[in-house]
Amino acid sequence: EAERDAERERALQAEVRALDQSKRRDAEEGQTTQQAKSEIQAAEKRARGAEARADAAEARAKAQADELDVLRPRAEAGAAAERRLRDAREKLRATEDASLELKRAEAQATAAEQKLRRAEAERDALEARAAE
C-alpha cells in the first residue's frame, strides 16, 4: 500500500510538474490563463479519479483479507475433520479385520468341536464293540 501511495504521489508530482512546464510554455506562447486552469482542473480530476480507484482497490483487498481471515479457520477445521474421518475409517477397517478373524476362529473352533465329537463317538463305538 505504501509503495502504491508513493507511486501514486510520484505520478501526481510528475503530472503537476508537467502541467507547470506546460503552463510556463503556454504563458510564453501567449495562451490564456484560462486554458492552463482548465488543464490543471482536468489533471486534478484525473488524479482524483485515480485516487478513488486506488481507494476502491484497497477496500477490495481489505475485504478479501477479511474474508480469508474468516475462511482460514473453517478450512483448518475441515482439514481436522477429514483427518478424524480418515482415522475413524482406519479404526473401522481394523475392527472389520478383527471381526473377520474372530469369525474365522469361531468357524475353526466349531469345526474342531465337531471333529472332537466325531472322535468321541468313534471311541464310544469302539469301546462298545470291545465290551461285546
Burial class from Cβ neighbours inside 10 Å (0-12, 13-18, 19+) for residue 102 reads: exposed
Q: What is the pLDDT of residue 32?
A: 62
pLDDT, position 21: 85
Convert the pLDDT of each residue in 116-130 to its tens digit: 999 999 999 999 988
pLDDT of residue 36: 66
**Predicted model pTM:** 0.40
Average pLDDT over residues 46-69: 91
